[in-house]
Amino acid sequence: MNNDKFHQVILPLKDKLYRLALSIVRDETEAEDIVQDVLLKLWSKRNEWNDIENMEAYCYRSIKNLSFDRLTYNSLRKTDNIEPDKEHLAFVDNITPHLEFVQQEQRSIIYKCIDELSDNQKLVFQLREVEGMSYRNIAETLEISEELVKISLFRARKKLKELLEKYNNDGI
């Protein structure tokens, strides 16, 4: 029975869990490692599954907690991934009309903007924008009120809008 539940409920979540981990640690290997650790731990605790009310939310929370733990253990990893941004900053004076270049720049701009968000805003943003979850689902997952979810999302979008407009005016 537990085996079925694992295959029907938990395993289909794996890519969503992976994306959440990835949005926090920004490292693909590390994110895969986190998902594997969480699923392994869940499997070893399969006798306690009946006590868990919302399995999906529980999985997301486990991923969130482990990802933040890993970040604090290895805070260098995050800056590692921002390195390419700094690299392209050196070329800002050289305006080349390459579409690829512009897109790459815009991509790193959005990463920079997202870095400006608070942890809670980032999580809400990820669950809403990327996973398309409802406000109530997000509230249950993060164990916060629906109001707070809306406020966090509103602030996150507002901040991203301002930052994008600012970059647009200053940059190109």
Partner 1 sequence: MEFENIHTLINKYWNCETSTQEEQILQDFFSQEEIPDELKEYAPLFRYKKDSQSKTLSSDFDKRLSTAIREQEKENKYITVKIFAPALRIAASVALITGLGIGIYLVANQNKKNYFAETYNDPNAALKHATFALDKLSDALKKGEEASMESLRELEELNLDWAALDSLNMEQMETNHSEIPVETENL
Q: Which is nearer to partner 1, 22 or 53 (CB)?
A: 22
Contact status: 40 vs partner 1 (CB under 8 A): yes
Cα–Cα nearest to 26, from 91, 74, 59, 90: 74
Question: In angstroms, what is the minimal distance from the CB of 28 to partner 1?
Answer: 8
Question: In angstroms, what is the minimal distance from the CB of 153 to partner 1?
Answer: 5
Question: In angstroms, what is the minimal distance from the CB of 22 to partner 1?
Answer: 6
Radius of gyration of the chain (CA): 18
What is the 3-class SS of the chain, one letter each residue? Answer: CHHHHHHHHHHHHHHHHHHHHHHHHCCHHHHHHHHHHHHHHHHHCHHHHHHCCCHHHHHHHHHHHHHHHHHHHCCHHHHHHHHHHHHHHCCCCCCCCCHHHHHHHHHHHHHHHHHCCCHHHHHHHHHHHHCCCCHHHHHHHHCCCHHHHHHHHHHHHHHHHHHHHHHHHHCC
Contact status: 19 vs partner 1 (CB under 8 A): yes
Question: In angstroms, what is the minimal distance from the CB of 96 to partner 1?
Answer: 18
Distance CA 145, CA 118 (A): 17
One of 49, 106, 146, 148 touching partner 1 (CB under 8 A): 106
One of 71, 110, 144, 148 touching partner 1 (CB under 8 A): 110
Question: In angstroms, what is the minimal distance from the CB of 81 to partner 1?
Answer: 14
Range 115-134, binding partner 1 (CB under 8 A): 126, 129-130, 132-134
Contact status: 5 vs partner 1 (CB under 8 A): no
Q: List contacts with partner 1 (CB under 8 A).
A: 11, 14-15, 18-19, 22-23, 28, 32, 35-36, 39-40, 43-44, 103, 106-107, 109-111, 113-114, 126, 129-130, 132-134, 150, 153-154, 157-158, 160-161, 164-165, 167-168
